[in-house]
Structure 1
Amino acid sequence: MTLLVWLANGFILFGGFLAVLLAVNEIFSHSKRAYRFLFSLTLVSVACMQLLSAFGLEIATDNSVNLLPLANIHIPFLFLPAPLAYLTIKTVSEENFSIKRHTILIGFVIFTAVLFYVIYNSPILGLERFPFNTIIAFGDKSILQKWISQTPYFFAGIYSLAFAAKIFGALRQIQDFRVKILLGIFLLDTLIVSALVILGSIFETFFFRLALLAISFVLCLIFVARNRYPNLSESISKELAKVRYVRSRLAGIDSDSLIGRLNALLENEKIYKNDNLSLAGIAKELSLTPHQLSELINQKLNLGFFSLVNRYRVEEAKRLLAQTDKTVLEIAYEVGFNNRSSFNESFLKFAGVTPIVYRRKNKS
């Protein structure tokens, strides 16, 4: 065994033990919530996958025939992390989450994992058991043997990609920067690991080893993030609950059409010039409740209601400052502000300079 392979196996083992420590931290947390329990199970499944895969790689590398039956014990754990992580997200994104409603998913995963393990380790069609990086060519059976040996990894990679799509759907609507970064890293890791596992199922176990190294690296990032942001779990819970809330509130609404109508009111009718403009008034115009309009603007434009209105006001003020001789206060009142201080504050926020400086630079 080369030094590089030894170091790689060591880092894979390190990732497995780190996952155990993270799981223990979740289990003994003061907050006894369902998502913490499922998250700890996810980490335990990752730990088992890392540790047992490292053990299998060691056997395969050394061609230890006596330990051959144990080389494939990691296979069931290839199928566990993705559904457990999915259920973890469901606990905080689904109202009144119940594990009973997901028994079919759990049963299917367990059945699939056990089925692949049994097929992999049973002498089917005269095939012998072998470590996952070894293909013993014996006549016309070698192709079938190779297919059986790689199938679990191929399906595990495809299954993880399906889960990555679920993460991406939640990620697009999350606004908290820390949560978005963490889930973004997890999404990227899932995509990379899935691709590497699929490549490993087709070509060499070198790619599978890279996948395990990537998992260990992400576990290190999670450890750093959990220490730097102790309340990160609560932030994730709040953000995913917010996503659930938005989806339920905007269900059945043609969001794109409503955004188009809202833009028409602001751009063509210039309703922002009304200093008594209110969220309730515009919501009534669009046949929405104030809460629905607020969530629509927040979700589609990533802005609050008043930030959206003030942005239009500032754009109009910029035009007036550059093309007219009206005073700053007159312009502030004309575009819809009630006082100069709020006008100056909003102008600086959206234009980056004060109204006076802007006029000095852009007056024609």
Structure 2
Amino acid sequence: MYAFLVFGSGLAFLLGLADLLSFYGKRSQKEREVRSGSEVQSILSKPERLTVPTLFFCVSIVQMHLYLELSEQISDFPWFAEAHIPILFLIGPLTYLYFQKLTGAKTTRLGGSHFLPAIFAFLVLLPFFVRSTEEKLRFLQNEGTSDPYSLIILLLLALATILNLAYPGALFRTVWRWRSKAEEEQRKSFSPILALFSATLFVLLLFVIAQIFYMPLFLVAASGLTVIISCIFLIRASNPDLMDSFRKNSREARYQESRISGLDVEALLLRLEELMREKKLYLDEDLSLGNLSQELGLSTHQLSEILNSRLQIGFREYIAGFRLEEAARILREEPQRSVLSAAYAAGFKSKSAFHKLFQEKYGTSPTSFRSSPTK
């Protein structure tokens, strides 16, 4: 049974390593296509992707400490004693902040405050961490009954458990609310996430019960954590598109809520990007500020203000950017089409306007661009 905990720790570490390697790998096509220097690029290229590997590494460390503690081998590694406590305080905030970023929530200055409990726990435990090996061994072997850190550690563990219950609990309520308002097809992407949060809450409750009433349940709870890690691995392996589907539907749900509770500019910008990248509204040569505003549920003044204040760009320039990218793609990938055909297919009405804008953006004419080597 203890080997199962080691397996869970190793699997969590591998999941974190895989995400870390992915972070340093190639960027997605969407990120590469976004115009350099734009606010939208900033939104897409700052997904806080290091949050996920850090989260898995934290879970791996906690699971390994549970194994050593439950198998009574922690005394062989006194330097590792209680090192998992500050890390426990990181798991909830990391999960929450990743969820917020994934679903297009507005970033606030208070984001860093979620990590204050972890910093507090580390500072409180710092005198314990710098103790000698002999002192730590005495603490571990004698259960530290007369040591003040016995009570301190117990209180910190209780606080960490409460916080780790609060975060997934809040996220569960949010996803449940979105799912209840979503269409039948969209609910499929919310259900696995709800199941994951439900399982997490159940396992955390087992830890609470074990700590208060029945210590042998610790092994069951720790094994449950390994099961959750395994489920995450299997879901990611069998359905790699699930998170993309959840991202899209959750942002749509958050966007719909923002229309009721007030404008969430971050969600609106993400929604606007999706309309351009996925629905390609810019291909409509008659697309106007009014049409796009109506699609977003905004007034023309609101959309114009968002574009000007956040992207420092006007509506015509914004749409022209996408049309130029599309025209450049056609010129590269469809050599049989004429330059004029590529311009019209990309949504341009005027040949002269197309040539002028193309020259400004790429520093060369469409014909020369097509014949030049791909960079």
Q: CA deviation at 1:111?
A: 1.5
1:314-356 alpha-carbon deviations (Å, 9 max, x no partner): xxxxxxxxxxxxxxxxxxxxxxxxxxxxxxxxxxxxxxxxxxx
Residue 199 of structure 1 is aligned with which of 196, 209, 233? Answer: 209
| 1:28–1:206 CA distance, 2 compared to 1 (3 A) | same
Name the amino acid aligned to 2:85.
I
In structure 2, the partner of 1:130 is: 139
Distance 2:192 2:13 in 1: 19
* 3-state SS, counterpart of residue 49 of structure 2: helix
Provide the C-alpha distance between the structure 2 equivalents of 1:182 and 1:94, rounded to a whole number of angstroms: 19
Partner of 1:55: 68
Larger RCO, structure (CA 8 Å, separation 6 or more): 2
Q: TM-score, normalised by structure 2?
A: 0.55
Quick check: 1:112 aligned with 2:130? no
Partner of 2:231: 221
Q: Judge conservation of contact 2:200–2:228 (CA < 8 Å) in 1.
A: no
Which one of the candidate residues 46, 49, 55 is aligned to 2:59?
46
1:81 aligns with 2:94: no
With over 3 angstroms needed to count, the CA separation of the structure-2 counterparts of 1:146 and 1:96, relative to structure 1, is: closer
Matching residue of 1:263 = none
Larger Rg: 1
SS in 1 for 2:83: coil
5+ residue gaps, structure 1:
1-6, 253-288, 293-364
Q: Which moved more, 1:41-50 or 1:192-201?
A: 192-201
**Which amino acid is the alignment partner of residue 239 of structure 1?**
N
State the shift of 1:232 in Å. 1.8
Cα distance in 2, alignment partners of residues 54 and 221 from structure 1:
20
In structure 1, the residue corresponding to 2:139 is in which secondary structure?
coil
CA displacement, residues 20-46 of structure 1 (integer Å, 9 cap, x when unaligned) = 222233233344651533222211211
The question of 1:160 aligning with 2:164 is answered yes
Deviations 1:181-211 (A, max 9, x none): 2222221122123212223332454333332
Aligned equivalents of 1:187, 1:177: Cα separation in 2: 15
Whole-Å separation in 1 of the counterparts to 2:48 and 2:246: 10
Normalising to structure 1: TM-score of the pair? 0.56
Contact 2:87–2:118 at 8 Å: present in 1 too? no
Residue 85 of structure 1 and its aligned partner are, at CA, apart by 0.6
How far apart, CA to CA, are the structure 1 residues paired with 2:110 and 2:199? Answer: 28
CA distance in structure 2 between the aligned counterparts of 1:21 and 1:227, rounded to whole angstroms = 13
Structure-2 change in CA distance of 1:152 and 1:203 (3 Å):
farther
CA RMSD after TM alignment: 3.3
Letter in 2 for 1:102: G
Q: Which amino acid aligns with 2:154?
A: Q
Report the 3-state secondary structure (helix = DSSP H, G, I; strand = E; otherwise coil) of the residue aligned with 1:79.
helix
- The answer as to whether partners of 2:207 and 2:217 remain within 8 angstroms in 1 is yes
8 Å CA contact 2:172–2:198 kept in 1: the answer is no
- Per-residue deviation, 1:221: 0.8
Does structure 1 residue 237 correspond to structure 2 residue 230? no
Deviation at 1:226?
A: 0.8
1:102 equivalent to 2:111? Answer yes
CA distance in 2, matches of 1:153, 1:24: 27
User: Percent identity, aligned pairs only?
Assistant: 23
Asked whether the equivalents of residues 39 and 88 of structure 1 are also in contact (C-alpha less than 8 Å), the reply is yes
C-alpha contact 1:189 1:218 (8 A) present in aligned 2: yes
Query: Matched residue pairs, number?
Result: 237
Structure 1 position 180, deviation (Å):
2.0
Tell me which amino acid in the other structure corresponds to 1:157: T
> What is the match of residue 211 of structure 1?
221
Q: Which amino acid aligns with 2:103?
A: S
Q: 1:160–1:190: 8 Å Cα contact kept in structure 2?
A: no
Change (3 A) 1:115 1:198: farther
Match of 2:49 among 32, 36, 46: 36
For 1:20 and 1:74, the matched residues in 2 are separated by: 15
Asked whether the 8 Å contact 1:16–1:216 carries over to 2, the reply is: yes
Corresponding residue of 1:307: none
Whether 1:169 and 2:173 are equivalent positions in the alignment is yes
| Residue pair 1:170, 1:243 contacting (<8 A) in 2 also | no
How has the CA–CA distance of structure 1 residues 14 and 178 changed in structure 2, closer, same or farther, with 3 Å as cutoff? farther
8 Å CA contact retained: 2:68, 2:74: no
Q: Give the gaps of 5 or more residues in structure 2.
A: 29-44, 263-293, 298-375
- Cα drift, residue 164 of structure 1: 2.1
The SS at the match of 2:82 is: coil
Letter in 2 for 1:150: L
* 2-structure distance, mates of 1:56, 1:185: 29
Question: How far, CA to CA, are the matches of 2:129 and 2:205 in structure 1?
Answer: 25
Cα contact 1:15–1:219 (8 A) shared by 2:
yes
- 2:195 corresponds in structure 1 to 185
2:92 is aligned with 1:90 = no
C-alpha deviation, 1:155, in angstroms: 1.0
